[in-house]
Amino acid sequence: MSDQILKLTPETVWKNFYSLTQIPRPSGKEGAVINFAKKFGENLGLHTVVDSVGNVIIRKPATPGMEKRKGIVLQGHLDMVPQKNSDKIHDFEKDPIDPVIVNDWVKANGTTLGADNGIGVAAILSVLESKTLVHGQVEALLTIDEETGMTGAFGLQPGMFTGEILLNLDSEDEGELYIGCAGGVNANMKLAYHIDAVSGDVKAYKLSITGLKGGHSGLDINMGRGNSNKLMFRFLKKATTEFKLRLATIEGGSLRNAIPREAFAVVVVPAGFSAQFTKAVAEYQEIYRKELSVTEPDLSFVAVECSKPASVIDMKAQINLINSVYACPNGMVRLSDSIPGLVETSNNLAIVKSHPEYIEITCLLRSSVDSAKDDLSMAVSSVFELAGAEVELSGGYPGWKPNPDSEILTLMKDIYNKKYNKIPDVKAIHAGLECGLLGGVYPNWDMISFGPTIRHPHSPDEKVLISSVQKFWDFLVEVLKNAPVA
């Protein structure tokens, strides 16, 4: 039962997290959770406002004796990534999440869990409602639409906060402190096409690639997982040449910041090629399974005969589409020179979807080096411009430059070491934390990002380690108690 998590500790954090799971809050549809957070603050008698873009800001005064400590801004985002397994019936705009306990993990039943960033937000709410914690002034900043456009961070206005320290609670490895992140930009392509009528003795098939793990397009991009779009178009390239395949529709991926797990195409082939075609599908399934035997053990690639479509994409557009998607850079492009093991630059070929008269292609490019991000943007643009597509780069956001001499970093390392007899790892992350944008509006903020252990965010396999939530909470409490004097 989903409410079993109410028995976990720390009870206050899990109680608030459970409340969040029961509120539909996909990115761009956060109205209900904004109202929830606003009422939460107001019911506590705290100064609460919703700004012009929908961010919720709640201010809690310092506890007695802590008035001279530096104010701390606790920040998290209200939205979640809506991803589900293809066989799961779930409406993310109406249905609550069903969390389940599996050993030392909490996950969801066939959908994303929303621990990214629900656990961080739940911890912030727990600080606000506590009558026993010791802390200086606390300001909560609960942003909207972090996952699809960082609309809340982009829209934040100066002059709304007095705190000098920002604690972003949106990282996903307990025991690690993050002091930098990658910037990103969306590449949006439209490839126009005409339609041709389906004629002659042909058979139609629905091609399906399923069973891939997917995952976060930043954190998991270096794990060698399959990209359903790349796998589908690799086969379409072969089948167009060898079996005179014609493409009617394509739908691969659904979110720019999630590695695509599934892709579907409706195609037709001359009846004389049908046996060879279906044999080739089976052969490619085995090829893909062998190549990705460790990372994608559940990969499936099948062709099922279906009703003939009325039309197909014209041949010139089909060839241009296949060649451009096949040639588009994807995955990890380069590792960082300065931080061992950190991905510097990457691209996620996230969405390929046919609409009447055009095909939509969406990529999310990331880099901690702005010039490398620009270079990759030009490379991706060039591929699709050669195919005759319209290319638009949008939603660019800056990275967060690390400050290894940060006062709050030194303090938090010392607190963690004293509490757990271990110095936490200090890292940068190949993901788009809001800190880069927030620091641009409030350049005086000394910023750190940390959180509990979350695995497979942005996919239905998302899960949070129960024991890490307790450590995360205890650490946060100690940091608040020991905030530096202003």
Please identify every residue annotated as catalytic. 79, 146
Dihedral of the alpha carbons of 367, 369, 372, 377, in degrees to the nearest 10: 50
Q: At what angle do helices 31-43 and 11-21 cross, to 10 degrees?
A: 140
Distance between CA 7 and CA 454 in Å, rounded?
A: 20
The conformation of residue 312, written as its DSSP 8-state character, comes to: E
Q: How far apart are the first and last CA of the chain?
A: 47
Phi-psi sector, 415: left (phi>0), alpha (psi -120 to 50), beta: alpha
Omega cis (within 30) before 26: no
CB 207 within 8 A of CB 240: no
Distance between CA 121 and CA 141 in Å, rounded?
A: 9
| Nearest residue to 87 via CA among 277, 334, 259, 298 | 298
Distance between CA 249 and CA 427 in Å, rounded?
A: 43
Distance between CA 338 and CA 253 in Å, rounded?
A: 33
Distance between CA 219 and CA 432 in Å, rounded?
A: 10
Query: 195 is written with which tokens?
Result: 């339609």
CB 251 within 8 A of CB 264: yes
CB 248 within 8 A of CB 204: yes
Query: 76 is written with which tokens?
Result: 């998290």
Count the helices and strands in the chain (H runs, E runs): 11, 23
